[in-house]
Amino acid sequence: MDELGPAPCAGELLAREDWACRIGPFEALGQRYEVWMDDEPLAAFLDTLYAPMANDDGAQTAIYRVVAPTVDRKGTVLRNGRVMGERRSPAGVLQLLQWAVNRQVIDRSCLDRVLLHAGAVAREGAAVVLPAAMEAGKTTLTTGLLDRGFDYLTDEAAAIAPDLTVTGYAKPLSIDPGSWEVLDHHRPKVDSVLDGYLDRQWHVPVVPIAGVVASARLGVVVFPRYQAGAPPELERLSPAAALIELAHCTFVPEDVPMPTDHVRQLAGIIAAVPVYRMVSGDLAGACDAVSRVLDASPSGAST
């Protein structure tokens, strides 16, 4: 793993004085970063996206440098002077930046805590965690629940402590084209100069939609899976089935076996809260179903 502190860039793509726009620092799950670029509209947009993670406590940060693509060059994202990748399109560069930040936050957090690939929301201090593989619909369901008045924890990675405290990674919502129709009311309203950054994926700030909470107590776990046209169908999982599903959605570094204490903690989660699998092709119905199982959970009953 590369060092996260500031480092001089070998072969700078721009002169140092050209990194005129600097935003951050931001913090998520103990990982800190800031972003430098030469594009003022993009900087203002990213500052809005990452605002829930703003934290200027003076600790060391990783520095991301974003070079916008032009006719003559690819766009580039660097972390502490190391090239993370190059893309020809503005949308590709923004996706690359988000991927690099995700990798920093997740890879450096997943060994010392149980970290699930999951969306997570909270209501009255009780968290719903929505673990799922990519393209299963977790961001769509997370966004639908925010529209119902839930608070936001994450749409990417939820850390669960032994005492069942859920801590989120409050990144912006990343809404893929398959959900654009049902979530059209969240289409980003940006200056036309930024349109090219959003034509593959909508990066949506959370704060105008819902409140953001740093943590909440786990109330229920629901594994969502989108199936076109299917009415919402919930199945409570047996402890063995729930453990297998949770293990599949737990982040661990490649080629590293899951720590034994993580397995024990997953078993503790299953013993403490109900775990369901849900298949649905109806967002409104899925949100209703999640609300009902949270109501039925001892940790989530409305007061």
Distances (CA, A) of 212 to 51, 101, 128, 204, 235: 11, 19, 14, 14, 29
Task: State the pLDDT confidence band at 18, using cuts at 50, 70 and 90.
Answer: low
Residues facing 278 on adjacent strands: 224, 234
How confident is the model over 177-231, as pLDDT tens digits?
999 999 999 999 999 999 999 999 999 999 999 999 999 999 999 999 999 999 9
Which fold does the domain 114-170+206-296 belong to in CATH? Phosphoenolpyruvate Carboxykinase; domain 3 (3.90.228)
pLDDT of residue 300: 59
Q: What is the pLDDT of residue 253?
A: 86
In the predicted structure, residue 243 carries a pLDDT above the cut 70: yes
Task: Give the residue extent of every domain in the chain.
Answer: 16-107, 114-170+206-296
Q: What is the pLDDT of residues 65-99, one digit of tens each?
A: 999 999 899 999 999 999 999 999 999 999 999 99
Residue 7 vs residue 23, higher pLDDT: 23
Q: What is the three-class DSSP state of 246?
A: helix
What is the residue-averaged pLDDT of the chain? 91
pLDDT of 233: 95
Does residue 1 have a pLDDT over 50? Answer: no
Tell me the C-alpha distance between 151 and 75, whole Å: 35
Q: Is residue 5 over pLDDT 50?
A: no
Q: Give the pLDDT confidence of 118-141 residue by residue, as tens digits.
A: 999 999 999 999 999 878 889 999
Give the bridge partners for 279, in sequence order.
225, 233
pTM exceeds cut of 0.85: yes
State the DSSP code for 286: H
Taking alpha carbons only, the member of 295, 259, 288 closest to residue 274 is 295
Element (H, E) at 219: strand 215-226
Confidence at residue 2, expressed as pLDDT on a 0 to 100 scale: 45
Q: Where are the beta strands (DSSP E) in 105-196?
A: 114-123, 126-131, 151-154, 157-160, 165-168, 173-175
